[in-house]
Amino acid sequence: MKNTSIKIATVVGFPLGAVSTQTKVFETKEAIAHGADEIDMVLQIGALINNDLETVKKDILAVREASKGKVLKVIFENCYLNDSQIKNACDICLEANVDFIKTSTGFGTGGATIENVRLMKETVGNQIKIKASGGIRDKETAVKYIALGVDRIGTSSGIKIVEA
């Protein structure tokens, strides 16, 4: 991939964000040392659900620091979260100055929903980009998310969508 315009992205803290912050920082630094341009981190879902927002914030800030100069996407795994938790995660990401927020890893029980993406967009406005991932399998669905203002679509049906 060297000497190409193709960007390399990797995930840290996969699948549930339950590893320590130190592990995520190590994974981030190793990924960047091996050529990663973008880091997708899974936030500490358990801490968010337990309303331990300080732990979630410290975790994201540490990875943001380790990924300076690179794109940082924070994955929420919305299928496990309620609206209040999604909003809290958005607020923390605004404070941490992340580049993207993302709906899901693809590991959880559900993907993007119109309602969740609308809430994310209402909370962050244009200050953070949004990647809708999971369950987007056709052009009609992709167009709905684009109309909501998402910046990227994560799908395993990309060719089908583009050819439709």
What pLDDT score does 2 carry?
75
* pLDDT for 130: 98
pLDDT tens readout for residues 30-44: 999 999 999 999 999
Number of domains the chain contains: 1
Residue 139 falls in the annotated catalytic set: no
Pick from 17-21, 43-47, 159-163: least confident: 159-163
User: Which of 126, 128, 144 minimizes the C-alpha distance to 136?
Assistant: 144
Cα(110)–Cα(114) distance, integer angstroms: 12
Residue 3 included in any domain: no
In this model, does residue 106 exceed pLDDT 90? no
State yes or no: is 58 an active-site residue.
no
- Active-site option among 40, 59, 73, 121: 40
- On the question of pLDDT at 3 being above 90, the answer is no
In a domain, 1, yes or no: no
Compute the distance between CA of residue 148 and CA of residue 140 in angstroms, rounded to an integer.
Answer: 13
Structural domain harbouring 25: 9-163
Q: Is residue 82 part of a domain?
A: yes
131 among known catalytic residues:
yes
Instruction: Check 24, 57, 121, 131 and give the catalytic one.
Output: 131
In a domain, 111, yes or no: yes
59-101 pLDDT per residue, tens? 999 999 999 999 999 999 999 999 999 999 999 999 999 999 9
Instruction: Confirm if 77 and 134 have CB atoms less than 8 A apart.
Output: no
On whether residue 115 sits in a domain, the answer given is yes
CATH of the domain at 14: 3.20.20.70
Please tell me the predicted confidence (pLDDT) of residue 1.
72
Question: Does residue 2 form part of some domain?
Answer: no
Give the global pTM. Answer: 0.95
